[in-house]
Homo-oligomer: A and B are copies of this chain.
Amino acid sequence: MKQDNYRESHIKKLLHPASVAVIGASGKRGRVGHIIFKRLLGFNGGLYPVNPKEPEVLGVTTFPSVSDIPFDVDTAIITVSAEKSVDIAEECTRKGIGSIIIVASGFGETGAEGKRLEERLKSIAARYDCRILGPNSLGIFIPETAFDTIFVEHGDKSLAGGGGIAFVTQSGSVGVESLGLAGNTGFGMRAFVGLGNKIDLSELDFLRYFGTDSATDCLAFYIESMASGRVFLEEAKEVSRNKPVIVLKAGRTPAGAHAAASHTGRLAGSDRVVSGAFRQYGLQRAYDDEELCDAARTLSNLPPARGNRVAVLTGAGGFGVMCTDYIESRNPRARLEMAELSGDTVGRIRSMAPPFASCTNPVDLTAGMDNKMFTRTLEALMDDPGADIIICIALFAPPMITDDLVDDIARTVQGSEKPVLVFTEYGPFTEKYLKSFYDKGVIGFSSLHRTVRAARFLVERGNILTFFGGDV
């Protein structure tokens, strides 16, 4: 893969800086420069607020300008208005700062004047060989180091971390809501990057960076426009040999593409062309933020499926039937089929199941089951070579099922090379249970639709690896 090492080292500093300057840091509540600076007070490194009008911000003495900072600065976060941002970016590069985040909107998306400002930024980036993220960038969030420049509050972001997903979004609002979704039930975020208007750094840079970043095991992109689509596809193909790459390319229908064009000021490609190309290059598609997050948390946390045969375990017959229907329904993503269990497996299940249980697939242990029957049956299904994926319908209503089922399932599936997905639903407690499953390493969803869709992502990933000739 083509790599620009100099560029790469700048991106590394952007994501993992030793020192940061916040231009426009302010003591005034509500200001972007206040929110970002306050958030960075917990950052473990040099932190330099810059503000010519406020001598100190939240107890920290400010510098009147970037040039006045007597230390090296890895990354500058510019939180002032569009017009001012351009001059300050140039000042930053003169000081030798190689990585700049520009938060302000009011650039290319707003017309001719904004476009001129963007052109100036582009020439600064080229002239000084510095890297600019944005403008109109939501910022960066690295859970591991608590480096967090995101100025919008949304749930408990700490819930989202602790994993290998690199999440890169062109849209700020989609990014914010995705962070909310990620925090709700646990996610596994390695890094979150808001691209914004992409006058310099684009999805391609982060594809390259996270593609070789050893702590990243899955890449997720929300993209509305792609400047160098062909190069992206070719390099993504290389990345996807080793890591799943999921792309939500908004503007897939002609009307959607038109809407995307007016939103970003660029032209989006035809959906059919995109879809065909994606398949060819081993990318996986998603169609809304919920699906993008579902796919990422599934593919990052579970092994790919070695085949498409699904075994279903339930204690509630109706859910087994609906799940079977979803599995056997035709779907453009990846075909699934119900696994045929071996006689040995059926015998093992029958020996411990309650009377009247249905011991073939879908296995219905009935409301007479208890935790032990459930986990032992799960073990039997995991051992059956005829099943590639297991879907556990984990409902807590049966009288002998206790809350320990979360731990029991987690213990059973730990380290499994066969993916196990959980569906759970429990009125107002659903999210609590899903979170509890996630904390113990089990991936669950709150609707059958989403659970079976997750299985399709795992089969699709297996198909991609097979297509590349590697081991699944």
Q: A430 and B325 in contact (CB under 8 A), knowing A174-B318, A291-B449?
A: no
Binds B, one of A253-261, A297-305, A376-384: A253-261
Q: How far is the CB of A438 from chain B (nearest CB, A)?
A: 14
Instruction: Please indicate the chain B residues that have their CB under 8 angstroms from the CB of A30 in the complex.
Output: 399
Q: Which of A155, A180, A248, A426 counts the most B-chain CB atoms under 10 A from its CB? A: A180
Q: A259 and B362 in contact (CB under 8 A), knowing A250-B325, A367-B105?
A: yes
Is the beta-carbon distance between A328 and B360 smaller than 8 angstroms? no
Instruction: Please indicate the chain B residues that have their CB under 8 angstroms from the CB of A248 in the complex.
Output: 322
Is the beta-carbon distance between B291 and A180 smaller than 8 angstroms? no
Q: A449 and B287 in contact (CB under 8 A), knowing A318-B222, A325-B251?
A: yes
Q: A328 and B173 in contact (CB under 8 A), knowing A260-B321, A262-B358, A321-B260?
A: no
Instruction: Please indicate the chain B residues that have their CB under 8 angstroms from the CB of A172 in the complex.
Output: 316, 367
The complex places the Cα of A324 from the Cα of B250 at a distance, in Å, of 9
Is the beta-carbon distance between B263 and A358 smaller than 8 angstroms? yes
Residue A364 is within 8 A (CB to CB) of chain B in the complex: yes
Is the beta-carbon distance between A288 and B328 smaller than 8 angstroms? no
Quick one: closest B residue to A318, CB to CB? B171
The complex places the Cα of A428 from the Cα of B105 at a distance, in Å, of 27
The complex places the Cα of A367 from the Cα of B397 at a distance, in Å, of 44
**6 A-B pairs with the lowest CB-CB distances in the bound complex, closest first:** A155-B427, A180-B427, A171-B318, A173-B316, A263-B317, A253-B328
Quick one: closest B residue to A176, CB to CB? B397
Q: How far is the CB of A82 from chain B (nearest CB, A)?
A: 12
* New A-B pairs, 12, CB < 8 Å, besides A180-B430, A250-B318, A253-B327: A110-B355, A152-B397, A173-B315, A173-B318, A174-B316, A179-B427, A224-B321, A255-B324, A255-B337, A259-B362, A263-B358, A290-B449
Interface string of A172-187 (1 = CB under 8 A from B): 1110110111011000
Residue A289 is within 8 A (CB to CB) of chain B in the complex: yes
Interface string of A321-341 (1 = CB under 8 A from B): 110111111000000011000
Instruction: Please indicate the chain B residues that have their CB under 8 angstroms from the CB of A319 in the complex.
Output: 173-174, 177
Q: How far is the CB of A139 from chain B (nearest CB, A)?
A: 14
Is the beta-carbon distance between A256 and B324 smaller than 8 angstroms? yes
Is the beta-carbon distance between A288 and B321 smaller than 8 angstroms? no
Is the beta-carbon distance between B259 and A321 smaller than 8 angstroms? yes
Instruction: Please indicate the chain B residues that have their CB under 8 angstroms from the CB of A288 in the complex.
Output: 322, 326, 447-449
Instruction: Please indicate the chain B residues that have their CB under 8 angstroms from the CB of A328 in the complex.
Output: 253-256
Instruction: Please indicate the chain B residues that have their CB under 8 angstroms from the CB of A355 in the complex.
Output: 110
The complex places the Cα of A211 from the Cα of B156 at a distance, in Å, of 47
The complex places the Cα of A170 from the Cα of B318 at a distance, in Å, of 9
The complex places the Cα of A171 from the Cα of B287 at a distance, in Å, of 32
Residue A6 is within 8 A (CB to CB) of chain B in the complex: no
Residue A71 is within 8 A (CB to CB) of chain B in the complex: no
Residue A460 is within 8 A (CB to CB) of chain B in the complex: no
Residue A264 is within 8 A (CB to CB) of chain B in the complex: yes
Q: A184 and B262 in contact (CB under 8 A), knowing A176-B397, A224-B318?
A: no
Is the beta-carbon distance between A251 and B321 smaller than 8 angstroms? yes
- CB-contacts of A373-430 with B (<8 A): 395, 397, 399, 425-430
Instruction: Please indicate the chain B residues that have their CB under 8 angstroms from the CB of A154 in the complex.
Output: 397, 426-427
- CB-contacts of A435-460 with B (<8 A): 447-449
Instruction: Please indicate the chain B residues that have their CB under 8 angstroms from the CB of A470 in the complex.
Output: none
Residue A252 is within 8 A (CB to CB) of chain B in the complex: yes
Is the beta-carbon distance between B183 and A427 smaller than 8 angstroms? yes
Quick one: closest B residue to A359, CB to CB? B262
The complex places the Cα of A358 from the Cα of B111 at a distance, in Å, of 12
Residue A244 is within 8 A (CB to CB) of chain B in the complex: no
- B173, B327, B360, B362: the one contacting A397 at CB < 8 Å is B173
Q: How far is the CB of A334 from chain B (nearest CB, A)?
A: 16
The complex places the Cα of A294 from the Cα of B319 at a distance, in Å, of 17
Instruction: Please indicate the chain B residues that have their CB under 8 angstroms from the CB of A431 in the complex.
Output: 428
Q: A395 and B111 in contact (CB under 8 A), knowing A252-B325, A253-B329, A324-B259?
A: no
Interface string of A3-30 (1 = CB under 8 A from B): 0000000000000000000000000001
